[in-house]
Amino acid sequence: MVNRLQAVRGMNDLLAEEMPYWQQVERAVRELFADYGYQEMRVPLLEHAELFQRSIGEHTDIVEKEMYRFEDRGGGWLALRPEATAGLVRAAIEHGLLHNQKQRLWTAGPMFRYERPQQGRYRQFHQIDCEAFGYPGPDIDVEMIQISARLWRKLGIDGVRLRVNSLGTPESRRHYRELLVGYFRSHRDALDADSQRRLDTNPLRILDSKNPALAAVIAGAPSLTDHLDDESRAHFERFRGLLADCGIAHGVDARLVRGLDYYTRTVFEWTTDALGAQDAVCSGGRYDGLVGQLGGESTPAIGWALGIERLVSLLRTAHVALPAVRPAVYLVLSGESAERAGIALADRLRDALPGIGVLVNLGGGGLKAQMKRADKSGAALALIIGDDEAARRVAALKQLRVESPQQEYGWDELPARIGALWRRKD
Ligand code: ATP
Ligand code: MG
What pLDDT digit, counting tens, does each position of 349-393 carry? 999 999 899 999 999 999 999 999 999 999 999 999 999 999 999
Q: How many CA atoms lie within 13 A of 140 on its CB side?
A: 25
For ligand 1, mutation pick of 165, 207, 261, 310 (most atoms within 8 Å of CB): 310
- Residue 291, pLDDT > 70, answer yes
How do residues 195-244 score in pLDDT, each as one tens digit? 998 898 889 889 888 889 999 999 999 998 889 999 999 999 999 999 99
| CA 377 to ligand 2 centroid distance, Å | 41
Q: Is the pTM of this model over 0.85?
A: yes
Asked if 124 contacts 224 with a C-beta cutoff of 8 angstroms, the reply is no
Confidence (pLDDT) at 425: 43
How do residues 302-328 score in pLDDT, each as one tens digit? 999 999 999 999 999 988 888 778 899
Is the CB of residue 115 below 6 angstroms from any atom belonging to ligand 1? yes
| CA 399 to ligand 1 centroid distance, Å | 48
- Residue 91, pLDDT > 90, answer yes
| CA 128 to ligand 1 centroid distance, Å | 11
Strand locations in 139-252 (E):
160-166, 251-252
Is the CB of residue 282 below 6 angstroms from any atom belonging to ligand 1? yes
For ligand 1, mutation pick of 81, 119, 127 (most atoms within 8 Å of CB): 127
Confidence (pLDDT) at 209: 86
Confidence (pLDDT) at 423: 66
Is the CB of residue 288 below 6 angstroms from any atom belonging to ligand 1? no
Q: What's the average model confidence in pLDDT over 67-81?
A: 97
Q: What's the average model confidence in pLDDT over 400-407?
A: 93
Share of the chain above pLDDT 90, in %: 83
The 8-class DSSP code of residue 119 comes to: T
| CA 100 to ligand 1 centroid distance, Å | 33
The CA–CA distances, whole Å, from 8 to 17, 59, 82, 131, 398 equal 21, 27, 17, 31, 47
Tell me which amino acid residue 341 is: A
Report strand pairing: 381-386 vs 329-334: parallel
| CA 269 to ligand 2 centroid distance, Å | 13
Confidence (pLDDT) at 325: 82
- Residue 424, pLDDT > 70, answer no
Confidence (pLDDT) at 113: 98
User: What atom of ligand 1 comes closest to residue 61's alpha carbon?
Assistant: 7
Confidence (pLDDT) at 422: 80
The CA–CA distances, whole Å, from 40 to 52, 133, 287, 316, 349 equal 22, 14, 20, 27, 35
User: What atom of ligand 1 comes closest to residue 83's alpha carbon?
Assistant: 10
Q: What's the average model confidence in pLDDT over 399-422?
A: 93
- Residue 5, pLDDT > 60, answer yes
CA-nearest residue for atom 1, ligand 1, is 280
- Residue 426, pLDDT > 70, answer no
| CA 115 to ligand 2 centroid distance, Å | 8
Q: What's the average model confidence in pLDDT over 171-178?
A: 90
Share of the chain above pLDDT 70, in %: 99
